[in-house]
Amino acid sequence: MFVQQLYTTCLSEAAYYIESNGEAAVVDPLRDIDVYLRLAAERKATIKYIFETHFHADFVSGHLDLAKATGATIVYGPETETAYPVQVAKDGETFPVGQLTVQVLHTPGHTLESSCYLLKDENGNDHCVFTGDTLFVGDVGRPDLAQDGTNLTKEDLAGLLYDSIQTKLLPLADSVIVYPAHGPGSSCGKTFTGKESTIGAEKKTNYALQAASKEAFIKVVTEGLTDPPQYFPINAKINKEGYESFHDMLETALRPLSVDVVKKALQEDSILLDTRPAAQFTMGFIPDSIFIGLEGRFAEWAGSLLPFDKNIVLVTEEGMEKEAVTRLARVGFSKIEGYLAGGFEAWRTAGEPIDMVIDVEADELAMDLPFDENLVVLDVRRPAEYADGHVKGALNVSLNELADPANMSNLEEDQNIYVHCAGGYRSVVAASLLKRQGIHNIRNVLGGWGKIKEEKKIATEKEKSVLN
């Protein structure tokens, strides 16, 4: 028996490769499937099944491309309806993989078709369970992602989730390994504490499983939920209806474009997405670019901030073009025209106009605060982060809210805006969005709140009334 977790940090997503006696299966594959094909080839195995735990909302699955490349059967749980051929399994149905057996456990709650897959070893003993978004390490799946066509409330789904966990997962032996679809950082839950666990450990430590009743469970898992990223329903729909082949998309997206072609694309309202490191971007960029650096949670922020109906042109570090396209494809972007050949330096060398964001240290903010009446501290962290400590009088507009220009209405061009986040990534994204709206008097505080709170001359406060 061979089981490997294939974890993608940018999305906090875990896919799984299962193998026995030359037969293999993949659980919840990402859009770019080469890693699964390579692993199977190296181990001289044939991928027989692709098990999907549900219609993922936070990424586009690689199930269609992987099935086309291998001939594997795509398996979903009960109550699944798709626009492409799949095997809709019955609750309790089993699938052989070599000497192993995979059993379907229908666990509605996160979504109606959500299912877990229980892996039994060569002797028929329960070994591990792939829990998808039903059960995480330290959390359970959010129950507020009801799909179109259902009238279920988040409380209704939370009730279903409670029943699923109580009847299908908790009766398993404490030693059974829990392999979830996500880990810390994902927006599919609230409180992740790891990437792998056991049923016994979750019984003891998972906050949601400590609820004394169904009513208590519903209350604890539905309170404090932030709004899901705007791209979640888009990705769920793509996963349900199908998509263009990833390799076909690459042919268009990886076209080198000249400076003149990029200028024309901008005139036609294409989005110019700069994926270089933040420190490079602030020193010089093409006006009206949106910065989302590959060094951060790139795919998630792209899905949350960028429109899906506009063409995108990329500005990347040399050699990072395919990486940027791949990460965009993982969250459903397909309208990528190409990338600026030669990168930002080609634009600068051509004598085209450039823009900058001024970086300042936290001590400069400390010196300016007492004497500048026009100074505004813009904190773009989440409300819970802001509540836990912030500059006194700071304006809190979280980064995801800045996708809507209306949320910038409290900011004026004549203000001296010092923008910060926790460490310096989100603040540069925010600065690029502000610049696009004509707000240019911006300074980015290097090191963000981590450095600001060390400055004794900067007055700070907490606001415990804001919930997570």
Q: What percent of the chain has pLDDT over 70?
A: 98
Question: What is the distance between the alpha carbons of residues 312 and 112, in angstroms, rounded to a whole number?
Answer: 34
Q: What burial letters (b/e) apply to 265-299, b meaning 16+ CB within 10 Å?
A: bbeeebbbbbbbebeebbeebbeebbbbbbebbbb
Determine the pLDDT at residue 464.
59
Q: What percent of the chain has pLDDT over 90?
A: 89
Domains and CATH numbers, the chain: 2-234 (3.60.15.10), 244-349 (3.40.250.10), 358-461 (3.40.250.10)
pTM: predicted TM-score of the whole model, two decimal places? 0.91
Q: What is the pLDDT of residues 192-233, one digit of tens each?
A: 999 999 999 999 999 999 999 999 999 999 998 888 888 999
In the chain, % helix, strand, coil (3-state, to 5) comes to 30, 25, 45
Residue 359's nearest CA partner among 294, 454, 424, 409 is 424
Q: What is the pLDDT of residues 75-128, one digit of tens each?
A: 999 999 999 999 999 999 999 999 999 999 999 999 999 999 999 999 999 999
Residue type, 30: L
Determine the pLDDT at residue 148.
63
Q: What is the pLDDT of residues 143-199, one digit of tens each?
A: 998 766 678 899 999 999 999 999 999 999 999 999 999 999 898 888 899 999 999
Q: What is the pLDDT of residues 262-298, one digit of tens each?
A: 999 999 999 999 999 999 999 999 999 999 999 989 9
Q: What is the pLDDT of residues 427-454, one digit of tens each?
A: 999 999 999 999 999 999 999 999 999 9
Determine the pLDDT at residue 467.
43
